Amino acid sequence: MEKRNKITRLFILLTVIAGLSVTGCKKKDDATPATDTTTTTSVPMGTLITHLHAYVGSEEVYQYGADIIYTSTGRKISLSMAQLYISTIQLVKMDGSLYTVPNTVLLQVPDIMPYLIGKVPAGNYKSIRFYVGLDSNTNKKVPSSSPDDVLNKPSMWFGSAAQPEGYAFVNIEGRIDTSENALGSDIEMKSFMYKIGTNSNYKQVIMPDKNFTVTPDQTQHIHMYSDFGRLLNGIDFSNKKNLMIMSVSENDSALAKTIAANIPHMFHYE
């Protein structure tokens, strides 16, 4: 009997030790649960920034309005404006689940490369995905008067105010060789201007896998570039009617759909 009691007490002791050992372990990898989540409490966080360059083809745009560079299809272009919104940013964890970065809208503008994505759970990730543009709720918002409000940018409005038309998701302007064979002289460089917006042109970009690690209390950069020349693939520039999209109604055109369809393919890792 005494022997049995000793064995029972030993069994209980080992069970308690085992239980403490299991619960004492730190979580193995990402602290967030496997399903899509935006919770951030009591999880080690690091800072994530995208270092985003503006390119045309393989050339970085350095001098807006001045540089003559070539698209990937060999057409001469000079950009004077290249801006776009990025929102609904999701980080893909190593197990394929997603972390949605809350409340982040970025506006890529000329000559600025770093864009703060925000504080995110520390851990190992394999990719990033995001939308170019604004979701339907944000697209209905009236901007504040603060210069820091990313929506308070008249260059991204269709008219003199942001509403009721919503925002331009992409604004690209410049001059482009309009010759049929893309071998035109400077005389054949004509002005173009495209403001792409509306909910139907809200496009997701899914980047390929490229692992990165966010370390607690440190900053990690994701180095990418946006090829604004890629947006113009498939456009017949010899047709002078194809040089302008300025209004919401024009965003229903085949031309706008052609440009919008190029959005998911314009981003690359540097």
Site residues for another protein per CB under 8 A: 14-15, 17-18, 21-22, 24-26, 28-29, 44, 47, 49, 51, 53, 60, 111-114, 116, 122-124, 211-213, 215-221, 223, 270
Using CB atoms within 10 Å of the CB of residue 264, give its burial: 0 to 12 exposed, 13 to 18 middle, 19+ buried.
middle
Looking at the Cβ atoms of 105 and 117, the one nearer to another protein is 117
Shortest distance in whole angstroms from residue 215 CB to another protein: 5
Shortest distance in whole angstroms from residue 115 CB to another protein: 9
Whether the CB-CB separation of 106 and 137 falls below 8 Å is answered with no
Shortest distance in whole angstroms from residue 65 CB to another protein: 16
Shortest distance in whole angstroms from residue 255 CB to another protein: 32
Looking at the Cβ atoms of 204 and 215, the one nearer to another protein is 215
Q: Would you list the DSSP string of 82-151?
A: EEEEEEEEEEEETTS-EEEPTT-EEEE-TT--EEEEEEEE-EEEEEEEEEES--TTGGGPPP-S-TT-TT
d(CA 24, CA 116): 35
Looking at the Cβ atoms of 53 and 129, the one nearer to another protein is 53
Looking at the Cβ atoms of 164 and 216, the one nearer to another protein is 216
Looking at the Cβ atoms of 14 and 142, the one nearer to another protein is 14
d(CA 87, CA 50): 13
Shortest distance in whole angstroms from residue 221 CB to another protein: 5
Whether the CB-CB separation of 46 and 216 falls below 8 Å is answered with yes
Shortest distance in whole angstroms from residue 212 CB to another protein: 5
Residue among 183, 180, 151, 181 at smallest CA distance from 167 = 151
Looking at the Cβ atoms of 140 and 221, the one nearer to another protein is 221
Q: Would you list the DSSP string of 195-253?
A: EEESGGG-EEEEPPP--EEEPTTSEEEEEEEEEGGGGGTT--TTSGGGGEE-STGGGGS
Shortest distance in whole angstroms from residue 111 CB to another protein: 5
d(CA 131, CA 118): 16
**On the CB side of 68, how many CA atoms lie within 13 Å of its CA?**
10
Looking at the Cβ atoms of 46 and 264, the one nearer to another protein is 46
